[in-house]
Amino acid sequence: MTKTVTVIPGDGIGPEVTREALETVDALGLDLRFDLLDHVNADTYLRTGVSLSDEDFGRVKASDAVLFGAIGDPRVKTSDYGRGVLLRLRFELDLFVNHRPATLLHEDLSPLRDARAGAIDCVIVRENTEGLYADIGGVLRENTEHETAVDADVSTYMGVSRVMEYAYSIARRGVCMVDKSNAVRHGGKIWQRVFKKAASRNPIIRSTHLYVDTAAMKLISDPSQFDVIVTNNSYGDILSDLAAVLAGGLGNAGSANINPVTGFGLYEPVHGSAPDIAGRGIGNPFGAILSYALMLENFGWTAEASALRRAVGTAISERRVTADLGGSLGTKEVGEAVRSALSAR
């Protein structure tokens, strides 16, 4: 059955890496139809004040997935634009899992002294629809010296349960639940309670718990201990970027924002729009390609997803990479390297 995929290339290096990743996925000859929304970007926002129109939202919703390039532009000074696109889609489509794999594809890529390839091979499962991102809160005595602001960190049993269930469903060796229940007590109790239930329902999986400060340290000092890390929206934001850097840098990191119940997903490289290098054709396309691999996997095309990942690994071993990985190739040439590895399989 044909899968329809909305494509939002967005800003900065978004369009460049998206083009390359799409061409690479095309080479697999799968039954995919693309609906291009290339007007969703900062230019449009600056002209109209609209981040994502209801019509465009409708087109996204009618499709099976959305592929994102990057959203962000130095000319836009408000966070409303980014929130209006990315967070709107996460919340309104109820994409409650942010799935962020961190796999070291080649030991040269690690900033750590004693990293062996494979020493980092984990997935951060980040709750994606509540916590501090609920946008509930307000200010008293705004713009005075007596201003007080409150942002609510909201946790629900339902919300924590469904993301915990997802974490256990993908775990191979273990689940490490990360919270700060020794200080942030109310939400902490829900996370602890749900975690204990899930752990006892999954006796074969090794269940462990760390406070977020310790988890950040252990990611550096002993990353190989982790398989799946499950945590809230805010800690997940931090730990997933941390893990990405340890696994070779943001340029290689892909992500999936998914609703495992409806099957809908938003797939996005993690690097952002990188305005400093935009337009020069030197952005690293691996993040986009690996994000699209996550999409293929969720569509059930697991062999093709693995092939994509292996092809990226081959390009890295051959050092056919962009400058952020120590190479000198452009986006297009790296894309070609991946496609030639794909056709050689």
Ligand X SMILES: CC(C)[C@H](C(=O)O)[C@@H](O)C(=O)O
Interacting residues toward ligand X by CB under 6 A: 82, 86, 182-183, 213, 237
Catalytic residue from among 56, 73, 180, 235: 180
Nearest approach, Cβ of 290 to a copy of itself (angstroms)?
18
* Length of the chain, in residues: 345
Tokens 């462990």: give the residue: 208
The one of ligand X, a copy of itself, none whose footprint includes residue 116, by CB under 5 to 8 A per kind, is none
Which of 125, 126, 197, 124 lies closest to 157, judged by CA? 197
- Which of helix, strand or coil describes residue 32? strand
CA distance 151 to 146: 17
Q: Which is nearer to ligand X, 117 or 132 (CB)?
A: 132
Nearest approach, Cβ of 240 to ligand X (angstroms)?
7
The yes-or-no answer on residue 213 being catalytic is: yes
The one of ligand X, a copy of itself, none whose footprint includes residue 135, by CB under 5 to 8 A per kind, is a copy of itself
Q: Interhelix angle for 14-26 vs 286-298, to 10°?
A: 50
- Which of helix, strand or coil describes residue 213? helix
The yes-or-no answer on residue 133 being catalytic is: yes
The yes-or-no answer on residue 108 being catalytic is: no
- Which of helix, strand or coil describes residue 337? helix
Which of 24, 22, 28, 16 lies closest to 339, judged by CA? 24
User: Residue 242 — φ and ψ, nearest 5°?
Assistant: -60, -50
Nearest approach, Cβ of 28 to ligand X (angstroms)?
26
Q: Which is nearer to a copy of itself, 36 or 250 (CB)?
A: 250
DSSP notation for 258-296: E-TTT--EEEEESS---TTTTTSS----HHHHHHHHHHH
Q: Which is nearer to a copy of itself, 170 or 250 (CB)?
A: 250
Q: Which is nearer to a copy of itself, 45 or 301 (CB)?
A: 45
Catalytic residue from among 45, 133, 168, 235: 133
The one of a copy of itself, ligand X, none whose footprint includes residue 137, by CB under 5 to 8 A per kind, is a copy of itself
Q: Which is nearer to ligand X, 142 or 213 (CB)?
A: 213
The one of ligand X, a copy of itself, none whose footprint includes residue 144, by CB under 5 to 8 A per kind, is a copy of itself
CA distance 129 to 106: 33
- Which residue is closest to ligand X by CB? 183
The yes-or-no answer on residue 179 being catalytic is: no
Which residues make up the interface to a copy of itself (CB under 8 A)? Answer: 79, 82-83, 87, 110-114, 132-133, 135, 137-139, 143-158, 161, 180-190, 193, 212-214, 216-217, 220-221, 234-235, 237-238, 240-242, 244-246, 249-250
Which of 210, 206, 126, 196 lies closest to 171, judged by CA? 206
Nearest approach, Cβ of 226 to a copy of itself (angstroms)?
15
Catalytic residue from among 73, 179, 237, 324: 237
The one of a copy of itself, ligand X, none whose footprint includes residue 193, by CB under 5 to 8 A per kind, is a copy of itself
Nearest approach, Cβ of 244 to a copy of itself (angstroms)?
7
Bridge partner list, 26? none
The yes-or-no answer on residue 64 being catalytic is: no
Q: Listing from the earlier edge strand, what are the strands of the sheet with 206-211?
A: 32-36, 3-10, 65-70, 265-269, 254-258, 97-103, 121-127, 228-231, 174-179, 206-211
The one of ligand X, a copy of itself, none whose footprint includes residue 158, by CB under 5 to 8 A per kind, is a copy of itself
Catalytic residues: 133, 180, 213, 237, 241
